[in-house]
Chain A
Amino acid sequence: MADIRISKLVKLYDNGYTAVKGIDLHIRDHEFMVLVGPSGCGKTTTLRMIAGLEDISGGEIAIGDRVVNSVEPKDRDIAMVFQNYALYPHMTVYENMAYGLKLRKMPKPEIDAKVAEAARMLSLESQLAKLPKALSGGQRQRVALGRAVVRQPKAFLFDEPLSNLDAKLRGEMRFELKTLQNRLKTTMVYVTHDQIEAMTLGDRITVMSVGEIQQVASPTVVYDHPFNRFVASFIGTPVMNFITGALSRDEDLFRFAIDGGATIGLHMHHRQRLAATLGEGRVLGIRPEHLSHAGHVATAASATRVDAKVEVIENMGDHQYVYLRIGGHPDPVVMKCSSHHRCEPGETIPVNLDTAFAHVFADGGEYAPTLTLPDGFQRQQ
Chain B
Amino acid sequence: MSREKPSLWVTISSHTFLLAFGATMLLPFLWMLATSFKGEAEVFERNPIPMATSLGDEGNALRTRDGRALYAVVRGGDGVVTRGEPLSVRLGNPVQEGAKGDRARTPSGENLSDDIGQPVQLGNVLNDSRRLGEWGGLARFRDPRVYVKYAEAVTVDADFAAPGFDTVANEAAAKAWFCERPGRYAGAWERLKQTRFAGRVPLMVTPAMSDAWAPLSGKAEPVMLGGVRVPNRHPHPLTEFYQFKNITWGQPGEPVRDLTLPAALCQGDGIAVRYEAAFPVFRTADDPLKADERSDLAAFVGDEPAPRAVLGSEIALTRQIRLMWSNYETVLTDPNVKMTLFAWNSLFIAVCVVALQVLTCSLAAFAFSRIEWPGRDTIFLLYLGTLMVPGAVTMIPNYLLLQQFGWLNSFFGLIIPAAASAYGTFMLRQYMLTLPKGLEEAARIDGAGLLRVWWDIVLPLCKPAIITLAIFTFSSAWGAFTWPLIIAPDENVRVLPVALKNFSGSQSTAYTLLMAASLIMMLPMLILFIFGQKYFVKGIQLGGVKG
Residues of A near any B CB (own CB < 8 A): 51-53, 72-74, 76, 78-80, 82-90, 99-100, 103-104, 147, 151
Can you spell out 25 A-B residue pairs with CB atoms less than 8 angstroms apart? A51-B445, A52-B445, A72-B449, A73-B444, A73-B445, A74-B444, A74-B445, A74-B447, A74-B449, A76-B445, A80-B445, A82-B441, A82-B442, A84-B438, A86-B441, A87-B442, A88-B439, A89-B461, A90-B461, A100-B445, A103-B446, A103-B448, A103-B452, A104-B447, A147-B442
Measured CA separation A53–B448 after assembly (Å): 13
When the two chains form their complex, are residues A90 and B438 in contact, meaning their CB atoms are under 8 A apart? no
Task: Tell me how far the C-beta of A86 lies from the nearest C-beta in chain B, rounded to whole angstroms.
Answer: 4
Question: In the complex, what residues of B have CB within 8 A of residue A84's CB?
Answer: 436, 438
Instruction: Point out residues on B near A: beta carbons under 8 Å.
Output: 436, 438-439, 441-449, 452, 456-457, 460-461, 463
| A103: min CB distance to chain B, Å | 4
Nearest neighbor of A84 in chain B, beta-carbon distance: B438
Q: Are B441 and A80 in contact (CB under 8 A)?
A: yes
A100 to B457, CA, bound (A): 12
**Cα–Cα distance between A51 and B444 once the two chains are bound (Å):** 10
Partner of A53, one of B444, B446, B449, B457: B444
B-chain residues with CB within 8 Å of residue A83 when the two chains form the complex: 438
- Shortest C-beta distance, B362 to chain A (Å), equals 15
Provide the bound-state CA to CA distance between A310 and B445, in Å: 54
Take A80-B441, A80-B442 as given contacts and tell me if A88 and B457 are in contact as well, using a CB distance cutoff of 8 Å.
yes
CB distance from B133 to the nearest CB of A (A): 66
How far apart sit A76 and B446, CA to CA, in the bound complex (Å)? 10
Q: Do residues B446 and A99 form an inter-chain contact, with CB atoms below 8 A?
A: yes
Q: Note all chain B residues with C-beta closer than 8 A to A87.
A: 442
Closest CB-CB distance, B90 to chain A, in whole Å? 65
Whether B438 and A100, one on each chain, are in contact in the complex, defined by CB atoms closer than 8 angstroms, is: no
- The answer on a CB contact under 8 Å between B447 and A103 is yes
Known A82-B442, A100-B445, A100-B446; 11 more pairs at CB < 8 Å: A53-B445, A72-B444, A73-B444, A74-B446, A74-B449, A76-B445, A82-B438, A82-B441, A88-B442, A88-B443, A89-B439
A53 to B452 CA separation, bound complex (whole angstroms) = 16
CB nearest neighbor in A for B461: A90
- Residues on A with C-beta less than 8 A from B439 are 86, 88-89
A53 to B444, CA, bound (A): 8
Nearest chain A residue, comparing its CB with the CB of B444: A73
Q: How far is the CA of A85 from the CA of B438 in the complex (A)?
A: 8
Smallest beta-carbon distance B413→chain A, Å: 37
With both beta carbons as reference points, the residue of chain B lying nearest to A48 in the complex is identified as B441
State A52–B438 Cα separation when bound (angstroms): 13
Question: Known contacts being A86-B436, A89-B461, is A53 close to B441, with CB within 8 Å?
Answer: yes
Contacts of B441 in A (CB 8 A): 51, 53, 73, 80, 82, 86
The total of Cβ contacts below 8 Å across the A-B interface reads: 61
Residues of A within 8 A of B445 (CB): 51-53, 73-74, 76, 78-80, 100
Q: Which 9 A-B pairs have the closest CB atoms?
A: A86-B438, A100-B446, A103-B447, A86-B442, A74-B447, A90-B460, A82-B438, A73-B444, A80-B445
Q: Which residues of B contact A51 (CB under 8 A)?
A: 441, 445
- Report A-chain residues with C-beta under 8 Å of the C-beta of B444: 52-53, 72-74
| Bound complex: CA A89 to CA B464 (Å) | 14
B461 with A74: CB separation less than 8 A: no
Q: How far is the CB of B476 from chain A (nearest CB, A)?
A: 28
Closest chain A residue, CB of each to CB of B460 = A90
Residues from chain B with Cβ under 8 Å of A103 in the complex:
446-448, 452
| A23 → chain B closest CB, angstroms | 22
- Which residues of the partner chain B approach A86 to less than 8 Å between Cβ atoms? 436, 438-439, 441-442
Closest B residue by C-beta to A104: B447
Inter-chain contacts of A104 with B (CB < 8 A) = 447
Complex CA distance for A189 and B441, rounded to whole angstroms: 17
A74's closest neighbor in chain B, by CB? Answer: B447
Distance in Å from the Cβ of B17 to the closest Cβ of chain A? 43
User: Distance (Å) between the CB of B533 and the closest chain A CB?
Assistant: 22
Q: How far is the CB of A79 from chain B (nearest CB, A)?
A: 6
Bound Cα distance from A78 to B447, whole angstroms: 10
Most chain B CB inside 10 Å of its own CB: which residue of A51, A100, A104: A100
- Point out the residues of chain A lying under 8 angstroms from B456, CB to CB: 88, 99
- Give chain B residues whose Cβ lies under 8 Å from the Cβ of A74: 444-449
Task: Report A14 CB to chain B, min CB distance, Å.
Answer: 10
**Min C-beta distance of A4 to chain B, whole Å:** 15
Which residues of chain B have C-beta atoms less than 8 A from A79's C-beta? 445
> Which A residues are in CB contact (< 8 Å) with B449?
72, 74
Q: How far, in Å, is B456 (CB) from chain A's closest CB?
A: 7
CB of A323, distance to nearest CB on chain B (Å): 41
A residues in contact with B448, CB < 8 Å: 74, 103
Who on chain A is nearest to B459 by CB?
A90
Q: CA–CA, A191 to B434, complex, Å?
A: 25
Closest to A144 in B: B442
Q: In the complex, A78→B441 CA distance in Å?
A: 12
Q: In the bound complex, how far is the Cα of B461 from the Cα of A52, in angstroms? A: 24
Nearest neighbor of A82 in chain B, beta-carbon distance? B438
Instruction: Please give, as numbers and ranges, the residues of chain B lying within 8 Å of A73 by CB-CB distance.
Output: 441, 444-445
Q: How close is A41's CB to chain B, nearest CB, in angstroms?
A: 20
Distance between A49 CB and nearest chain B CB, rounded to angstroms: 13
**CB-defined contacts of B457 to chain A, threshold 8 Å:** 88
Cα–Cα, bound, A151→B439 (Å): 17
Q: Which residue of A lies closest to B449 (CB)?
A: A74
Residue ID in chain A nearest B448 by CB atoms: A103
Return chain A residues, CB-CB under 8 Å to B452: 103
Measured between alpha carbons, how far is A20 from B141 in the docked complex, in Å?
98
Q: How far is the CB of A162 from chain B (nearest CB, A)?
A: 15
In the assembled complex, the CB of A221 is this many whole angstroms from the nearest CB of chain B, namely 32
Q: How far is the CA of A74 from the CA of B440 in the complex (A)?
A: 12
Question: Which B residues lie within 8 Å of A80 (CB)?
Answer: 441-442, 445
Query: Which residues of A have CB within 8 Å of B446?
Result: 74, 99-100, 103, 147, 151
How far does the Cβ of B436 sit from chain A's closest Cβ, in whole Å?
A: 6
CA distance in complex: A72, B444 (Å): 8
B332 to chain A, nearest CB (A): 41
Q: In the docked arrangement, what's the CA distance between A355 and B463, Å?
A: 64
Determine if B447 and A100 form an interchain contact, defined as CB atoms under 8 angstroms apart.
yes
What residues of chain B lie closer than 8 Å to A76, measured between beta carbons? 445
CB distance from B377 to the nearest CB of A (A): 12
Task: Tell me how far the C-beta of A170 lies from the nearest C-beta in chain B, rounded to whole angstroms.
Answer: 19
Expressed in whole angstroms, the minimum distance between the Cβ of B432 and any Cβ of chain A is 14
Closest to A51 in B: B445
A10–B444 Cα gap in the complex (Å)?
Answer: 23
Give the docked Cα–Cα distance between A103 and B453 (Å): 11
Q: Nearest chain-A residue to B438 (Cβ)? A: A86
Find the B residue at minimum CB distance from A95: B456
Closest chain-B Cβ to A89's Cβ sits at a distance in Å of: 7
Q: Taking CB as reference atom, which chain B residue is nearest A54? A: B441
With most chain B CB atoms within 10 A of its CB, the pick from A76, A80, A151 is A80
Chain A residue with minimal CB distance to B457?
A88
Q: Which residues of B contact A99 (CB under 8 A)?
A: 443, 446, 456
Bound CA span A83–B441, Å: 12
Interchain nearest-CB distance for A71 vs B (Å):
12
Question: In the bound complex, how far is the Cα of B439 from the Cα of A80, in angstroms?
Answer: 11
